[in-house]
Amino acid sequence: MILNYPSFKVEVKNIKFKTDEGVVLPKTAIVSFLMENREVSSVELYGHIDTEDIYRMIENGEPVNLDYCYIQDLSLSVYRSQRNLDRKAYVRIGNFSARHAFFDAKFGTDFSHAEFDNQDLSFDDSHFANGRVTFNSAKFGDGDVSFAHVYFRDGNVDFGNCTFGEGDFIFKNSILNKGIKDFQYTDFGKGSITFANTEFGGGEISFINTHFSHGNVSFKIARFGNGKIDFHYSKFGEGDISFERVDFGNSKVDFRTVEFNDGRVNFNRSVFGNGDVTFEGAEIKNGKFSFNRATLGDGAFNFELAEFDNVDAIFDRTNFGQGPVSFHSSRFHQLSLKSCHLDHYFDLRLQSCELLDLSDTIVRDIIDLKPYEFDVNITVLNLSGMRLLGTIYLDWQNNRIKDVISRQPDTSLADKAEQFRILKENFNQTGQYGDEDKSYVEFKRYEARSRLEKSVGKNIYNGIWFYPWHGFKWLVLDQAGLYATAPLRVLFSMLGWYVLFSLLYWILYMAGVSEIISGSGYELPPFARAFYHSAITFLTIGYGDHFPTGVSRIISSIEGFAGMFLMAYFTVSLVRKILR
């Protein structure tokens, strides 16, 4: 097909033209395609048919075969006017075909309010060379409708309010120049719909309130120019929907409140320019929403209020460009942003989500997860492998951080430890020091368990040593003072150990095993003597007025070390709190 010709000229000769199907027309139209310098680049021959002859065939209910024909100024509005019909009266056209046709019109080609029979209908490889093309409110019967490889030179095309029966709608490999493409309120019947590899050109492309019914819908590898692409309020059926590798140009792309129904939606590797992109209020009942490796420009990306309750939305390796990204108040089964570069503000305050996957991401700006107007109900949060160069705004308690990290089913203990470490550093940066301490404690706990697991995993006999050592660290470092983050807890631990040692001295005395002896001649009752000796030993005062005998000597040595250690532990944890 000859495309993108700046101009053309037509000569009609009184030479018979015979189509490939054996139809003979009395005249031949010679169409010369001209370059910008007015030189002829190519010539095509078509059978010439007079418009009035077409009107007569329509009026008589005859088959209308325009294959390989040159048609000038065809207009059903003119047809209705000439026959005194209502301007919106439907015109029935039987057995219509216009393959390899050349439509030429001063103002436009008009098929508005046409009613086609239940049969396959084809405009394949045709030219609409001049003027606007309208099929507004046309009714297409059962059967395939094909506009494959069609060239709309003017670019202004109107399929608004059309109705299609059962059959495929094929619009692949067609080219539309800059202009308004209107598919508003069109009702596609049962069957596949394909706009694959179609060049839509610039201007406004509208599928507002379009109903795609049941069947697969494909815009795969379609290309849009600069302008606006609007699917606002459109509804899709149960088939798969593909926008894979679509080039949306620098257009504003609007999928607000679109109902994707039960199909799988695919925007993989699609490219968006610098216009805003919105899926605000979009809905999928069941299925999968895939946005892998897509590329966005400088515009805002709005996914607010989306209702994807039973749907996995996958944005892995997507380049979100330079604009802000918002999933505010949306609902997902799973939302994956794995391996994405999050270079600008991300609002991830979701109403509900079973799994939010931010693993292997690089964060250079702000991720907002902190509840404000409503609870952020995320069951599992995965931060494995995140490189955090920016800031995450979230709250330990309100975001249930311990639970959302601990519930991860497929990450190792080391992975969980690393995630708590990332959050510890993040909370330090945001000044949430209480949350920093809680993250640090969980980090140390998972780190200890990970080391134990790895050591025992290498050799089961390592457990003879590592299990007691792990238990000792758990008791002393964790339970006694939460890894130096809780000075009051250390203080109570000191009190507990002091009482324990005191009672132990008294029990040993009552058992006759050992005794605390006074060296000053001043005798305290045995119970008080045990507590006094324990105090001066635990606090490493060492007056020397009382001294142990027997087994109590060994216990006193252990208590002295424990007291010295716990006092140092208390000092460290208290100073750490004060200095921050």
Bigger pLDDT: 205 vs 569: 205
- DSSP-assigned states of every residue in 178-237: SS-EE-TT-B--SS-EE-TT-EEEEEEEE-TT-B--SS-EE-TT-EEEEEEEE-TT-B--
Among 101-105, 147-151, 305-309, 514-518, which stretch is predicted with the lowest mean pLDDT? Answer: 514-518
Max CA separation in the chain (angstroms): 144
Say what the pLDDT of residue 142 is.
92
Query: Domain boundaries in the chain?
Result: 487-579
Taking the C-alpha atoms of residue 301 and residue 318, their distance in angstroms, rounded to an integer, is 12
pLDDT above 90 as % of the chain: 69
pLDDT of residue 57: 93
At 401, is the secondary structure helix, strand, or coil?
A: helix
Residue 115, pLDDT score: 95
| pTM across the whole model | 0.86
Residue 265: its pLDDT value, please? Answer: 95
3 pLDDT above the threshold of 80: no
Cα 302 to chain centroid distance, Å, stands at 10
Residue 509 clears pLDDT 70, i.e. is over it: yes
Q: How confident is the model at residue 529 (pLDDT cuts 50, 70, 90)?
A: confident
Residues 378/353, Cβ–Cβ less than 8 Å: yes
**550 or 257, higher pLDDT:** 257
Q: What whole-number distance in Å separates Cα of residue 391 and Cα of residue 545?
A: 59
Burial (0-12, 13-18, 19+ Cβ within 10 Å), 372: exposed
Which whole number is the average pLDDT over 390-411?
95
Which pLDDT belongs to residue 239? 87
Average pLDDT of span 318-330 = 94
Give me the pLDDT at residue 358, please.
97
**pLDDT reading at 287 higher than 90:** no
- pLDDT, averaged across the chain: 91
* In the predicted structure, residue 533 carries a pLDDT above the cut 90: no
Among 2-6, 88-92, 275-279, 550-554, the minimum mean pLDDT is found in 2-6
Query: For residue range 75-96, what is the model confidence (pLDDT) as tens digits?
Result: 999 999 999 999 999 999 988 9
Do residues 292 and 313 make contact, with C-beta atoms less than 8 angstroms apart? no
Q: In this predicted model, what pLDDT tens digit does every residue of 443-466 receive, in sequence order? A: 999 999 999 888 888 888 777 887
Rg (CA), the chain: 39
Confidence of residue 523 (pLDDT cuts 50, 70, 90): confident
pLDDT digits (tens, 9 = 90+) for 351-379: 999 999 999 999 999 999 999 888 999 99
Reported confidence tier of residue 521, pLDDT bands at 50, 70, 90: low
Q: How do strand 241-242 and strand 217-218 relate by DSSP bridges? A: parallel
- On the 0-12 / 13-18 / 19+ scale of CB atoms within 10 A, 539 is middle
Which pLDDT does position 359 carry in this prediction?
96
Question: In this model, does residue 21 exceed pLDDT 80?
Answer: no
- Please tell me whether residue 366 adopts helix, strand or coil conformation: strand
The answer to whether residue 342 scores a pLDDT higher than 90 is: yes
3-class secondary-structure state, position 87: coil
pLDDT in tens, 243-284: 999 999 999 999 999 999 887 999 999 999 999 999 999 999
Q: What is the pLDDT of residue 36?
A: 84
pLDDT at position 520 is 67
- For residues 184-191, average pLDDT: 93
Split at pLDDT 50, 70, 90, the class of 2 is: low
Q: Both tokens of residue 92?
A: 């029935």
Burial class (CB in 10 A: 0-12, 13-18, 19+), 360: middle
Task: Enter the CATH code of domain 487-579.
Answer: 1.10.287.70
- 35-73 residue pLDDT tens: 888 888 899 999 999 999 999 999 999 999 999 999 999
